């Protein structure tokens, strides 16, 4: 699928972009991979880090911002596939800099869409977040708009034009901004006290590798407008704290409940009950199909079954859970 193809990743120096670069060379022989981002230092670090890991003769680094449509047009010239990972993601940062979040997450999304359409890109996969589902903070609100833009973009591309789809997941285990590296730094100092916002809190467990695999699936089979969600286990945030403490210090942590933060949810929701009418369950994932007059029932991929009306995919009511012992093993595998 991606052999001899040119792929561009916006925000490519982030956790996802790094894992994607590693995995695409494991599985395919791409013609070229373009890392598009605005931080020259991170690009320099990434070039050094991957010098002996991948074929760097087929990797290009473009300085650019998704706010800059002209630069995107230049970068997408001759590109076959685009993965849109660039975004302002920190909830407090978006709350205190709302217009900057709008410029990157909404206007930037529109620029990516326009550039992809004008450059005849074959497929675009945009990364979404659980926070775009029933949003209660500005980050989630901007990503909801972004998701809607990418899905509706299929109406502009025609039957043989660019195909746009979305991949949605929550905080990725071990990624920048997740709680795991924060707690690990605390434990590495020898401290056995970890702050948990609320002991009732649950989250889905997904690794970077699983996130990239879902993007590969969307690139391979999407027909336009789908939102892909992985079927993954849940865990209690307090259990994660204990698993990390046991792995690092050999004893359970002392948990200090510090209170839920502004804009933070107790549970991650990936599919709402209102979306259940257009949600199909497959062996390893769900797909929410578009509900527009341009969408076609014939585009529903085989092998799935529509979920029951009112179904909600929620980390607090999930059927599959990770115990403390399973989290210990998952953390070790993540480090391998």
Residues annotated catalytic, as ranges: 131
HEC string for 126-179: EEEEHHHCCCCCHHHHHHHHHHHHHHHCHHHHCCCCCEEEEEEECCCCCCCCCH
Across the beta sheet with 285-288, the strand order is 59-63, 32-37, 6-10, 81-84, 123-129, 163-169, 227-230, 285-288, 279-281, 305-306
Q: Are 266 and 198 in contact (CB under 8 A)?
A: yes
Q: Which of 200, 144, 204 is nearest to 169 (CA)?
A: 204
Compute the residue count for the chain: 336
Distance in angstroms (rounded) separating the CA atoms of residues 79 and 122: 8
HEC string for 196-258: ECCCCCEEECCCHHHHHHHHHHHHHHCCCCCEEEECCCEEEHHHHHHHHHHHHHCCCCEEEEC
* Secondary element (H or E) of residue 95: helix 91-96
């Amino acid at each position: 699928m991606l052999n001899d193809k040119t792929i561009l990743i916006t925000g490519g120096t982030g956790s996802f972009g790094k894992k994607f670069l590693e995995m695409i060379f494991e599985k395919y022989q791409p013609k070229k991979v373009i890392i598009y981002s605005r931080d020259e230092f991170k690009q320099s670090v990434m070039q050094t880090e991957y010098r002996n890991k991948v074929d760097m003769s087929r990797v290009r680094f473009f300085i650019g911002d998704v706010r800059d449509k002209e630069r995107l047009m230049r970068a997408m010239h001759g590109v076959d596939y685009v993965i849109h990972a660039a975004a302002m993601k920190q909830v407090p940062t978006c709350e205190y800099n709302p217009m900057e979040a709008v410029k990157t997450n909404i206007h930037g999304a529109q620029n990516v869409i326009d550039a992809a359409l004008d450059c005849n890109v074959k497929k675009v996969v945009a990364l979404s977040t659980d926070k775009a589902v029933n949003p209660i903070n500005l980050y989630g609100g901007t990503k909801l708009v972004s998701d809607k833009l990418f899905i509706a973009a299929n109406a502009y591309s025609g039957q043989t034009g660019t195909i746009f789809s979305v991949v949605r997941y929550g905080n990725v285990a071990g990624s920048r901004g997740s709680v795991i590296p924060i707690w690990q730094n605390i434990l590495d100092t020898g401290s056995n006290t970890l702050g948990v916002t609320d002991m009732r809190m649950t989250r889905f467990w997904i690794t970077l590798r699983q996130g990239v695999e879902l993007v590969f699936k969307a690139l391979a089979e999407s027909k336009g407008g789908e939102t892909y969600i992985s079927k993954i286990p849940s865990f209690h945030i307090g259990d994660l704290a204990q698993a990390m403490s046991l792995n690092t210090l050999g004893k359970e942590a002392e948990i200090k409940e510090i209170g839920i933060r502004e804009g933070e949810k107790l549970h991650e929701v990936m599919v709402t009950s209102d979306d259940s009418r257009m949600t199909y369950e497959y062996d390893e994932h769900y797909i929410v199909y578009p509900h527009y007059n341009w969408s076609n029932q014939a585009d529903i991929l085989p092998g799935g079954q529509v979920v029951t009306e009112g179904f909600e995919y929620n980390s607090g009511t999930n059927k599959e859970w990770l115990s403390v012992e399973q989290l210990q093993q998952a953390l070790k595998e993540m480090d391998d």
